[in-house]
Amino acid sequence: MPTLTGKTALVTGASRGMGRASALALAAAGAQVLVHYGRGAKEADGVVAEIRRVGGKADAIATDLAAPDGARKLAAQARGILGDRLDILVANAGVSKAATIEETTVADFDRLFAVNVRAPYFLVQQLLPVLHEGSSVILVSSLGAHAAVGTLSAYAATKGAIDTLVKYFAAALGPRGIRVNAVAPGVIDTDMSNLVKTDEGKSAVLGMQALKRIGQADDVGSVVAFLASQDARWITGDTIRVDGGSKL
């Protein structure tokens, strides 16, 4: 069901994991996708190739979103390729680091907030001129923002900030017809999740989760594609939990 035919999308952190799954889901629905990456050039090229192989339109673009001017640069790059119209922004790029309160360093804390909060904030700001009536912005929160999960306090605080931004962005941009939502994944089987790498971790996940299987990246990608679509035209300001019913 190609519901996004003719739409343009930018997905940050799209070389792997949930960003990759989101890019593929949007492309499968017919959107032209800019596949942003930080370091994984080879993986990003693979995503672009996969989209093009089935007749879709995609390009890869590299930007360091930890840099203070990263969002401004990425917005300029995106506008250079797409022109003056962006229908879908998925600000997915993020970094994670498990650390106890004692172990957390100022440098780690600042890097987490730079990539996970500052970059999406200013990416939205810099793209405002090309977002329009009907555009859909999707940020990425986390189960960790809803309840304590392991030693993720600094990381989870960045995701709590996302939940707050979703409300403010939705309220501010609603009058322009721009929708802003987030997905809040639970533990998902990606490179970024340490829990899924051991049997002990997996059993801990299934212990806190209602559904008894480990979430996969495309479980999140399908929700992102929905939020981007017209079927979600009355949904804004919401954070959708995609966590198999974790910590209810």
Partner 1 sequence: MSNPVVLITGALTGIGRAAAVAFARKGAKVVVAGRRDEAGKALVEELRAFGAEAEFIKADVRKEDDVRNMVDKTVARFGRLDVAVNNAATEGAVGPITDQTAESFAATFETNVLGVVLSMKHEVRAMQAQGSGSIINISSTYGHEGAAFASIYVGAKHAVEGITKSVALEIAKSGIRVNAVAPGPTDTGMLTRFTGTAANKAALATQVPLGRLGLSEEVADGIVFIASDEARFITGHVLNVDGGHTAN
Note the residues at the interface with partner 1 (CB under 8 A). Answer: 166-167, 170-171, 173-175, 177, 179, 186, 210-212, 215-216, 219-220, 222-223, 225-226, 230-238, 240-245, 248
What count of other Cβ atoms lies within 10 Å of the Cβ of residue 75? Answer: 23
- CB closer to partner 1 out of 65 and 124: 124
CB of 105 to partner 1, least distance (A): 34
Q: Which helix (H) or strand (E) holds 191?
A: none
**Quick check: 81 and 57 in contact, CB under 8 A?**
no
- H-state helical runs in the chain: 17-28, 41-53, 70-82, 106-113, 119-127, 153-173, 199-208, 217-228
CB of 91 to partner 1, least distance (A): 17
Residues designated as active site:
155
Q: What are phi and psi of 80, to 5 degrees?
A: -65, -35
CB of 164 to partner 1, least distance (A): 10
What count of other Cβ atoms lies within 10 Å of the Cβ of residue 101? Answer: 8
